[in-house]
Amino acid sequence: MAPKTIICPICDFRQPNFDQCVNCGAIFSKLFEVSKKKESVQAEELHGPLKSIEENTSGGGKTAIIPPEIKGWNWGAFLLNFIWAIGNRTWIGLFSILPIVGYVMPIILGYKGSEWAWRNKRWESIDHFKSVQRSWAVWGTVVMILLLVSFAGLFYLVLHPGEQSLEQVL
């Protein structure tokens, strides 16, 4: 049974149970509709994040949710820094070529690289992302070893100049 009087939610005026407030003119059925809509929006906000973990959020920019599977140290980003940055459209990584900032940027890239790459570029899936990042790490390691070997070679030549000239080696 409907109550005999109703209190207007807008102005608190108590009146017989009409649909419209005599005091302020608010229409109660419309107010009720609005509050129902608000409820469904709130429900969406609550369940949204849960759903998007299952969804592919890559390439979604700053607000994209990071799947927990991709978090962790990124060796490719650390070792290949600015080359990796170009390949992964993570332009902040180009700071690696600057003096001073360039010393810390690879460390930041190693730490944050995976998150940034996930947000900045569209990937087919988490597995796709992981396998591409794995090959960046492999190439980073190969490049590092080649660099170390050639530096060692150069040092050897500098320390033993008489034994072999640079021309003969090249």
> Nearest approach, Cβ of 7 to Zn ion (angstroms)?
9
Q: What's the rounded Cα separation, in Å, for the pair 88 and 107?
A: 16
Q: Which parts of this chain interact with Zn ion (CB under 5 A)?
A: 8, 10-11, 13, 21, 23-24, 26
> Identity (one letter) of the amino acid at 163?
E
Cβ closest to Zn ion, residue 18 vs residue 91: 18
Cβ closest to Zn ion, residue 31 vs residue 65: 31
> Nearest approach, Cβ of 27 to Zn ion (angstroms)?
10
Q: CA-based angle 141:144:145, to the nearest 5?
A: 85
Backbone angles phi, psi at 5, to 5 degrees: -120, 160
- Of 153, 135, 22, 143, the closest CA to residue 87 belongs to 135
The DSSP secondary-structure symbol of 27 reads B
Cβ closest to Zn ion, residue 10 vs residue 43: 10
Residues 6+ apart with CB under 8 A from 164: 157
Cβ closest to Zn ion, residue 24 vs residue 107: 24
Q: How many CA atoms lie within 13 A of 127 on its CB side?
A: 0
Cβ closest to Zn ion, residue 23 vs residue 135: 23
> Nearest approach, Cβ of 15 to Zn ion (angstroms)?
8
> Nearest approach, Cβ of 71 to Zn ion (angstroms)?
53
Question: Are residues 93 and 113 in contact, defined by beta-carbon separation less than 8 angstroms?
Answer: yes
> Nearest approach, Cβ of 119 to Zn ion (angstroms)?
48
